[in-house]
Amino acid sequence: MVADLRWAWVEVDLGAYARNVSRIVRAASPSATWAVVKADAYGHGAVPCARAALDAGASGLCVATVAEGLELRDAGIGAPVLVLGEQPPEQFPAAVAARLALTASRTDVLGALSAAAQSAGVPATVHLEVDTGMHRVGAEPEEVAALAARIASDDWLDGEGCFTHFAVADEPGRDDTTAAQLAAFRDAVRACGRAGWRPRLLHAANSAALLRGLVGGADGWIVRAGIASYGIDPDPSRDEPQGFEPVLSLCARVSHVQRRRAGEAVSYGLRRPLDRDATVATLPLGYADGLRRDAWRECEVLVGGRRRRFAGTVTMDQSMVDCGDDPVSVGDEAVLIGAQAGARITANEWARRLGTIGYEVTCAISRRVPRRWVA
């Protein structure tokens, strides 16, 4: 394909990813591990990562939309797939036919799911989401009993699971909040039992909760393995969890080289005049590829194994790098995330410098940047 010839690419180490998933599987046991591959596996490629995760011992997969679930099914992946978050009822028939598990937290959603299941002639698999303090989506704790009774009374609803989402598990010093959420979730599960419904699967733990030991492994529970499986710590102050391996590299080849004099500046706004004569290398990556336009202020790039700062504002399709007096040629490799000649820049380093988290850094890398998967 023409895209494969582009001088910018993402390299995904599926071997490292599989080893990370295996670490989570061991740490979570006897809880099952479901790999989170939503948002194109956080920019790493949903289908290849899903297959690698299942081979590494994951029992199921989590996505964010019906379309993401159908992509896995179209690729021939038959493992359990949970769609996190309630979806438009118009999508229920396709989801039920593909045997995707769907999230619900309202009576009307359960009714629409039941109707779709009856039309398809197969029960709809349901996971009830409970809002224990995140206050984004989910049923209020006082609503749980009625919803559980509705699930228990409908033969077209297969009430497989019940779950919640922690708000601050990735923030040290706020364990009391996470403990309170977990206690509220356990109360909700007991309410389900009193209403006549006993979900087979329970889940609350994300990567942060598992890594910090906030939720112990137990039969019938699931750990949703997301950011840690990609070798990125949920806490952006650290690079990767101890014992985990980085998975993604973002690379480009130098597409243009110029020599500029002290006092000259490059790119829109001419915002960073050179303090000495310097060689400026252009990379064919810009904010349409997922770089932030203001990355020039703090972020760095590896060229020739050395850290280089941006020479000016990141543009839509290109960015310029100050290489000083070091030799650089068209075609030389630059590494924006990853390792080169013993030096390394991580996704969380970019996150720290940009005031965000590693999730956003990798998810932002657009699909026009070709992915290369290596074993």
Picking from 29-38, 151-160, 171-180, 264-273, which range would have the lowest pLDDT averaged per residue?
Answer: 171-180
* Tokens standing for residue 292: 């932030």
Q: How far apart are CA 81 and CA 87, in angstroms?
A: 14
* Tokens standing for residue 69: 């679930």
> How does residue 240 score in pLDDT terms, banded at 50, 70 and 90?
very high
> How does residue 213 score in pLDDT terms, banded at 50, 70 and 90?
confident
Nearest to 315 by CA among 255, 260, 242: 255
Give the residue-averaged pLDDT of 14-24: 98
Nearest to 204 by CA among 136, 131, 140: 131
Residue 6 main-chain phi, psi, to 5 deg = -65, 145
Q: How far apart are CA 82 and CA 214, in angstroms?
A: 23
Between the CA of residue 49 and those of 22, 117, 164, 375, what are the distances in Å? 13, 30, 24, 11
pLDDT digits (tens, 9 = 90+) for 106-146: 999 999 999 999 999 999 999 999 999 999 999 999 999 99
> How does residue 3 score in pLDDT terms, banded at 50, 70 and 90?
low
* Helix, strand, coil percent content, the chain, rounded in steps of 5: 35, 25, 40
Q: What percent of the chain has pLDDT over 70?
A: 98
Q: For the chain, what is the mean pLDDT?
A: 96
Q: How far apart are CA 132 and CA 139, in angstroms?
A: 9
Largest separation between any pair of C-alpha atoms in the chain: 77
* Tokens standing for residue 303: 């060229």
Q: How far apart are CA 178 and CA 185, in angstroms?
A: 10
Q: How far apart are CA 233 and CA 240, in angstroms?
A: 4
Query: Are 243 and 282 a contacting pair, CB within 8 Å?
Result: no
pLDDT digits (tens, 9 = 90+) for 354-363: 999 999 999 9
Q: How far apart are CA 50 and CA 55, in angstroms?
A: 9
- Burial profile 176-189: b = 16 or more Cβ within 10 angstroms, e = fewer: eebeebbebbeebb
Contacts of residue 101, Cβ cutoff 8 Å, sequence gap at least 6 = 80, 81, 82, 83, 125, 126, 127, 160, 161
Domains of the chain: 14-230 (3.20.20.10), 248-345 (2.40.37.10)
- What angle in degrees, to the nearest 10, is found between the helix axes of 46-55 and 66-74? 70
pLDDT digits (tens, 9 = 90+) for 57-112: 999 999 999 999 999 999 999 999 999 999 999 999 999 999 999 999 999 999 99
Known catalytic residues? 38, 268
**342 Ramachandran zone, left/alpha/beta (phi>0; psi -120 to 50):** left
Report the pLDDT value the prediction gives residue 222, as an integer from 0 to 100.
95
pLDDT digits (tens, 9 = 90+) for 317-336: 999 999 999 999 999 999 99
Q: How far apart are CA 30 and CA 19, in angstroms?
A: 18
Quote the pTM value.
0.95
Report the pLDDT value the prediction gives residue 163, as an integer from 0 to 100.
97
Residues pairing with 223 in the sheet: 33, 205
* Tokens standing for residue 248: 């993604």
Q: What is the CA radius of gyration of the chain?
A: 23
* Tokens standing for residue 300: 């760095």
Query: Are 166 and 206 a contacting pair, CB within 8 Å?
Result: yes
Judge whether residue 1 has pLDDT over 80.
no
Nearest to 132 by CA among 177, 98, 97: 177
* Tokens standing for residue 30: 């006897």
Query: Are 180 and 133 a contacting pair, CB within 8 Å?
Result: yes
Query: Are 117 and 156 a contacting pair, CB within 8 Å?
Result: yes
